[in-house]
Structure 1
Amino acid sequence: MDSLTQFVLGAAVSTACLGSKIGPRRAALIGGALGTLPDLDVLIPFADPVDTFVYHRGWTHSLFVHAIAAPLIGEAMVRGFKALREHRWLTYGAVYLILATHAMIDAITVYGTRIFWPFYPDPVGVGSVFIIDPLYTLPLLGVVIWALFKRQWTRPLKRGVAAALILSTAYMGLSMVLQQRMEVRAAKVFSEAGIEPDRVFAIAAPFNTVLWKVIGLEDDRYHNVYLSFLDGEDAPTIYSHPRHPELTACLDDSPARDKLVWFSRGFYRADLVEGKVVLSDLRMGLTPGYAFRFAVAQSGQDGFDPIVPERDYSHRRSTEGDLAWLQARMAGMPAVRAAEAQLETAEALPGLADASTCGRG
């Protein structure tokens, strides 16, 4: 999740656990700081952009690492605050909850978080909440601001903090239920259109859980459909795009390709852009402006040669008309996403597939 959300979640958890011991203001500030601690892994230098992408939210987000770190950080707090010296185990537990809740809400987003490292090294990424979701953050922000203006622990503040934590946690749980419902609905939409994808994955659209992007994945193509809980009886538009598996088949000796295939859990596409093979993670961003695109190979004399990975910025993340389209679809109104419909038409032009072969582009 975004840094503000991580701060206010950590602050709220700390206030709930330690506010009565060291005061709500101190508890909120300490919890907020600790709540952002796992994301300091962004300061770790990695070999290339792909490693930076796939290894973020790694060991610093592990629940097992947090179990080791909590007594160390907690003991420093016990020694630093006289009021905590008789509450050592409470302090340890509070630190663990602050760190662990950071990792757990990150795992609810689609990016993926290695919360079980090193015993289970793959990232967990549910995708039922966007990285910024006001409905989750605002209740926590409200009680944290309240706590920052209070020196003394009061019963109304205690109830407010508890209510905010319960509501935000319930919202996360509800989002996963909604995600399952959307995947079932999308499978029906695909079936009625004569499409039988191998996998269906629903992802919360930006800033809300009313509108969902659902990907239907096949070997050589994928289908996007955008479903709102406020939709009427009109059949939703399905956008179909090629994945160009023939491009990645040429890259058996590319570690960058292997990492991206693993991290995306197979939800990726390949494109030939100015003689370079570019892989995009289909889960993050809207077609074609995916948030994470990497050039991993370039055309050579005998095909494609792996290169040091590069971020590809050839597509904007959003295009003209996307905001109006997003608002219309959130409200359940039929709307065609122009940028994606135009791309779908261009991809279907004769000869385009011939340009994306295992040989030189």
Structure 2
Amino acid sequence: MDSRRDFLQKLGLSAIALPLIPLSGLASSVENFGERYDGPVLRVAIMGLGGYANRVAEAMQSCVRAKLVGVISGTPGKITTWQSKFNIPEKNCYNYENFDKIKDNADIDVVYVITPNALHHDQVIRVANAGKHVICEKPMALNAKEGKEMVDACKKNNVKLLVGYRMHFEPKTLEIIKMRKNGDFGKVMFFQGLCGFKIGDPSQWRLNKKLAGGGSLMDIGIYAVNGARYMVGEEPTWITAQETKTNPVVFKEGVDETIQFQMGFPSGAVASCLSTYNMNYLDKFFLTGEKGFAELQPSTGYGPIKGRTNKGELTHPHLTHQTVQMDEMAQIILEGKQPVVPVDGEEAVKDMKIMDAIYLAASTGKKINLKG
């Protein structure tokens, strides 16, 4: 198992045979199945043509509001393959040296950056300076400072910056958030987030501090960081964390193997989370309150997500996450739609601040208080 994406892909294999449902809005996706859409379409160029980029591109073939029209890659062979596979014109193909020229290309609205973490900062800023909207895969940057610089650059250029939080559009996840807001669980007391798998190839970029910015926390633990916030519905006020490393040969200095972290929230709710590259079968969210509970397992894989609450099983149909994400993001960019859970750069910076604090807490053994 070479990466988180391989792991998540295996979790979602059972969903491959399910039909992709064209969306004209998440809330009414099932009711509007087959409905013709004649509105504006977001024209997308993907930067970085690796495994996850391929998954996004495949999913976008079922989008009604977003269309893949361009590519940016440092590998000419990949560009040629994508041109043939996805019918991409030569004029919409760029490399990492010349992609600033997209500012003169009126046929591209947004660039989706799907490259190693350390490259996001500079690439997003270059895209923003070219006057194009940006979608950036998570984690958005190596730290909160970089993230804020990216947000500021997009604001300066009057373009939107969104981050690939696909779970923010997932139906079972949104149902739990709705129930929590409606008070179905009563006062929230506790959240647990478990995210992990055994990583494969020790030479991959995810185990390179300079490219990844860390280890399991940056790659998959971010799901628990972000999930704690939207499941509890509050921002944490303190962080504690502990790191465990059993294989320093594979997990070198600055690349975390396993991190446990705890968070406290203003209401008194607490969270206990684990992020690891050394244990399989960890993909679970659990929320409990004074009146009920909610559980997702798997909670962040490519699907189908499985969930239940004290009121019974969640039975929402599976929708391919990346298809939903791109159609929803098209509405955010083109129509100003406000999602239930934000996916903008400011949302991502909040996660980066927490992750900065987790690393600090793990390295110092101290409880880190977060500023409001």
Between Structure 1 and Structure 2, whose CA radius of gyration is higher? 1
Q: 1 or 2, which has the higher helix percentage?
A: 1
TM-score w.r.t. structure 1 length?
0.29
TM-score w.r.t. structure 2 length?
0.28
